[in-house]
Amino acid sequence: MIKSMRKDKQNEVGAKMYKFISGLLKLIIMKLSNSLEVQGKENIPQLHRYVVTCTHESYNEVIMLGTAIYPNQIHYMAKKELFNNKVFGKFLSSLNAFPVDRDNPGPSTLKKPIKLLKENKTVGIFPTGHRMKYDEGSPMKRGAVTIAMMAQAPILPAAYVGPKEIKGLVTGKAIIRFGEPIETKHLPKDMKRNEKLEYLTKELEQRTIQLQSELNDYVKNN
């Protein structure tokens, strides 16, 4: 009982901290410096129960993605090594991030994000698994698709173009483009689980490639 109350209190504090920091970042990034352009806002689901994915070359995508869908809050999956430092780990937790073991993923890795989705919350995942330049040869891990499928939640794909250094959040110009959500509930009943995973993973890959290509063309022509 006491443990549960403490956890609820931590969640409440985390939500307030996230709201404060995200609100401040939105003021600086979108109002004062005008350094973020958001495309495809109409594709963001009205219900918060979805998995949002994005290309991932730096930590800036984490900040910009959160700013793009504010005031909705994203609960990010983060590698457990980032939580080794207690102070930084608490800071990450206050921003709704939670640790996962990427080297040894197991059933417990899926429980937390699925629970969040069933609580009508948004989970953020970078499906390449780590920071890397995204292109057609970049493999996607199945984690995002597996979680979305098990929670029967849609996947909102996104792509990012912009600065990769922190100072660029204010001095540069970034663009996030959201694509149409990928539904995970209405697949043919005769499809096996692995077939569904493979189909949805390929669909996510194709849509992400398309979004990134559209963004790159937009930047070249503007």
Highest mean pLDDT among 29-33, 55-59, 64-68: 64-68
Q: Which residue has the higher pLDDT, 129 or 177?
A: 177
**Mean pLDDT, rounded, for 157-176:** 87
Beta bridge mates, 79: 100
- Report angle CA 55, 61, 67 to the nearest 5 degrees: 130
E-strand stretches of 26-154? 36-39, 51-54, 74-79, 98-100, 122-125
Q: Which CATH architecture has domain 2-221?
A: 3-Layer(aba) Sandwich (3.40)
Give the pLDDT confidence of 191-210 residue by residue, as tens digits: 999 999 999 999 999 999 99
- What is the pLDDT, as a whole number, of residue 78? 81
Rounded to an integer, the average pLDDT of 148-163 is 94
Q: Which residue from 200, 178, 82, 75 is spatially nearest to 125, judged by alpha carbons?
A: 75
Q: What is the pLDDT of residue 14?
A: 57
pLDDT at 131: 46
Prediction pTM value: 0.85
Contact at 8 Å (CB) between 35 and 174?
yes
**Amino acid 217: pLDDT:** 94
Task: Give the orientation angle of helix 143-151 with respect to helix 193-221, to 10 degrees.
Answer: 120
What residue spans define the domains of the chain? Answer: 2-221
* pLDDT band, very low/low/confident/very high, at 56 (cuts 50, 70, 90): confident
Taking the C-alpha atoms of residue 32 and residue 82, their distance in angstroms, rounded to an integer, is 31
Residue 50 falls in which region: left (phi positive, over 0), alpha (psi -120 to 50) or beta = beta
The pLDDT tens digits for 14-41 are: 577 778 777 777 777 876 777 899 999 9
pLDDT of residue 140: 55
> Please, what's the b/e burial string for 148-169 (b: 16 or more CB within 10 A of its CB; e: otherwise)?
bbbbebbbbbbbbbbbeeeeeb
The strand pairing partners of 161, in sequence order, are 175
Answer yes or no: is pLDDT of 180 > 70.
yes
> Do 74 and 152 form a contact (C-beta atoms < 8 A)?
no
**44-48, 107-111, 143-147, 159-163: which has the minimum mean pLDDT?**
107-111
DSSP letter string over 195-207? HHHHHHHHHHHHH
Q: What Å distances lie between residue 128 and 38, 54, 114, 141, 159, CA to CA?
A: 22, 9, 19, 6, 12
More confident residue, 12 or 85: 85
